[in-house]
Amino acid sequence: MPRVLLVDDDVELLELLGEYLIQDGFSIERAYDGLTGAQAALSGQFDIAVIDVMMPQMNGIETLRKIRSLSHLPVILLTAMGDDADRIIGLELGADDYVPKPSSAREIAARIRAILRRSQGFAKDQLAAVTVGQLTLWPSERRASWAGQALELTSTEFSLLEVLAQFAGRPVSKEQLSQQGLGRPLAKFDRSIDVHLSSIRHKLGLLPDGRSCIQTVFRQGYQLIREQ
């Protein structure tokens, strides 16, 4: 039974969301402030955390920052509708996905399942290491290295990089990256893919000739360079 941590100061909302998730087959625990939520998230007892951005004292962004300093636990942020700034900051800090509020419990449950399916399920089908130039991925362990050095990737970053590696040398559309990497269709004006890939590029660094190994292909998407 997947273990989900819900963090929000809205008691009524958490009660309703928690009840839905329990009926949908999840084990849940609630935290009503960012500090308690961060401590719970770092306990190692959960598979994923859903955190609201708008909380007093320690908001969701600071809660995520604290979690990411010590853990790669998958995190979904609940953000205000149309608040692009919080979404981008959250993704840059390592959030795996976001859900705009108000949203249905069914939508949140679907996002949770998509992330857990990627991080726990897909890897079982791929045991062999995947190597493209200086990049090596171990899907069964959700582990990656660049030039022999371990890469610190979030679950979503690993999934996106894995998709690019599978199609190395060929462009991959943002729609395909969203479907296979995020587990959902690409939404209009959604910049999640761009922000995640910007973070991955930063972590990989540059090739000897100064280029990024992940190239933007005009009107086609992104491509992982095969020759590195």
- Asked if residue 81 and residue 137 are part of one domain, the reply reads no
pLDDT at res. 123: 46
Domain boundary among 121, 137, 167: 121
Report how far residue 41's alpha carbon sits from residue 38's, in angstroms, rounded to the nearest whole number.
5
Output the domain CATH number for residue 215: 1.10.10.10
Q: Is 33 left (phi over 0), alpha (psi -120 to 50) or beta?
A: beta
Same domain, 43 and 133: no
Last residue of a domain, one of 121, 144, 168: 121
CATH number reported for the structural domain that contains residue 106 in this entry: 3.40.50.2300
Torsion 195-200-205-211 (CA) sign: negative
> pLDDT digit of tens for each residue in the chain (228 aa)?
899 999 999 999 999 999 999 999 999 999 999 999 999 999 999 999 999 999 988 999 999 999 999 998 999 999 987 778 888 999 999 999 999 988 899 999 999 998 998 776 554 455 578 899 899 999 878 889 998 899 999 989 999 999 999 999 999 999 999 998 888 888 888 889 999 999 999 999 888 888 899 999 998 999 999 866
Domain end, chosen from 67, 101, 121, is at 121
pLDDT at residue 228 in the model: 60
Beta pairing class for 135-138 and 143-146:
antiparallel
Q: Can you give the pLDDT at residue 129? A: 85
Same domain? For 64 and 140 the reply is: no
**103 and 171 co-located in one domain:** no
Distance, in Å, from the CA atom of 207 to the CA atom of 201, rounded to the nearest integer, reads 11
Which residue is it, tokens 């009840």?
19
Please tell me whether residues 149 and 106 are part of one structural domain: no
Domain identity same for 9 and 112? yes
Q: Tokens 């190395």 map to which residue?
A: 168
Phi, psi of 207 (to 5 degrees): -75, 165
Q: How far apart, in whole angstroms, are the C-alpha atoms of residue 9 and residue 56?
A: 8
Same domain membership, residue 102 and residue 151: no
Domains in the chain, number: 2
Cα separation of 173 and 23, whole Å? 36
Q: Is the dihedral of CA 180, 181, 183, 188 positive or negative?
A: negative
Say whether both 78 and 38 belong to one domain: yes
Residue 141 is predicted with a pLDDT of 81
State whether the Cα torsion 85-163-143-183 is positive or negative. positive
168/226 Cα distance (integer angstroms): 5
Domain that holds residue 9: 3-121
